[in-house]
Amino acid sequence: MAVSVGRVEAVGVEIALRYGLNPHQTPARAVAHGASPFQVLNGAPGYINLLDAISAWQLVRELRVALDQPAAASFKHVSPAGAAIGLPLSESLERAYQVEGKELSPVAAAYVRARGGDLVSSYGDFAAVSDRVDASLAMVLRREVSDGIVAPGFDLDALEILGTKKGGTYLIIQADPDFEPPLLEQRSLFGMTLEAPADRAPIVPALLDTVVTQRKEFPPEAVRDLMVATIALRYTQSNSVCVAADGQVIGLGAGQQSRIHCSRIACGKADRWMLQQHPRVLSLPFVAGMKRPERFTAREQFIAWAELSEPERAYLRAQFREAVEPLSDEERGDWIGGFTTSLSHDAFMPFRDNIDRAQASAVRYVLQPGGSIADAGVTAAADSYGMTMALSGLRLFRH
């Protein structure tokens, strides 16, 4: 199938958008003030599509430089639902992500991991990858519910595959890998223009140098995962907390007014990621004909059985061809206890409750800015659980 190709022109030329944040906000447009970072290869972008593309592209480009691996992000509502680098998948992850038997290129594996960090939230995502999109990734995207993708390049066979998606309207954006945005960012709101330097503080392993706990060592896997988590936080609506493991985000709590609520959301998602790999979850007896997104949702509901209302439980039981027993607290705790995860905060921890919640989700390594009057108590809490914690001194708010 032929793919329509159109360039977003450079100086002062407008990009017509379908509408603004909501369908009643028309007309809408984007204006490139100088060289454009993007080229639209297929489809018509919306306002939120461009917001997601701008943040997602920056995230994967930064991850690629930091860890020298293909990187991917799955964005929803201007925050990442997931982010990852392209490490090979274990057998349990292949089953949890339902990609068994597929040969995944590194860039495809990165996206499968990014989407798999929160399979329910990634439904209808905007994807981003740091490397060229190949046929392997295009085949993955073709079967997923996704609104679009931004990448630095596309193989011709990948364009042909993606050009058939959504009746030929799937949004494909090519990013200029050499584009550098202005040092000064501006935002116009309510008749005012806000200006501030762009956030370009380096996120590097040296942020882990100021260790304040009794345990001092960060193994290479923890350094890698804390880089993934912290870079993801830079592009997440604050307050935000991120849990990572195995080179990918496994739980992200974003946009909450209370930091403990961010920690509960992030750790709750991390728990579900770990439990999705439990043998009893992987072998749930679904009724015939269930679609992949329905199976993902049913697994998550099964894991969250104790939180469901009776009508929700009744509906869930109908998704199985035979009766199933929920996971016991002992089964859940034993399984989660076999993992090791890392956690990063975008600002200081005001109370030790964030550490108390984190330890129940196998968190053993922590990075946070520090600077709270409660730092001593937070450090004591980390010590009581045998964690290693460093203070970065770097706040990463985003609004």
- Which residues are tagged catalytic? 76-77, 239, 399
Alpha-carbon dihedral sign for residues 302, 305, 308, 313: positive
Check if the beta carbon of residue 286 is closer than 8 Å to that of residue 295: yes
Q: Which two tokens stand for residue 225?
A: 């995962």
* 270 Rama sector, left if φ>0, alpha if ψ -120 to 50, beta otherwise: alpha
Q: Is 120 in a helix, a strand, or coil?
A: coil
What are the residues facing 150 on neighbouring strands? 128, 173
C-alpha distances in Å from residue 48, one per residue of 19, 196, 221, 254, 259: 9, 22, 34, 17, 26
Residue among 117, 121, 159, 120 nearest 141 (CA) = 159
Q: Is 133 helix (H, G, I), strand (E, B) or coil?
A: strand
Task: Map residue 203 onto helix, strand or coil.
Answer: coil
Q: Is residue 174 within 8 Å of residue 152, measured between CB atoms?
A: yes
Q: What one-character DSSP code corresponds to residue 320?
A: B
Closest CA to 8 of 177, 176, 188, 180: 176
Cα dihedral: 186, 187, 192, 196 (round 10): -40
Residues 6 or more apart whose CB falls under 8 angstroms from that of 110 comprise: 69, 70, 71, 72, 84, 85, 86, 129, 130
Helix, strand or coil, per DSSP, at residue 76: strand
CA nearest to 369, candidates 361, 380, 378:
378
Q: What span, in angstroms and rounded, lies between the C-alpha atoms of 228 and 234?
A: 10
Q: How far is Cα 91 from Cα 340, in angstroms, rounded to an integer?
A: 18
Rg (CA), the chain: 21
The encoded tokens of residue 66 equal 């930091």
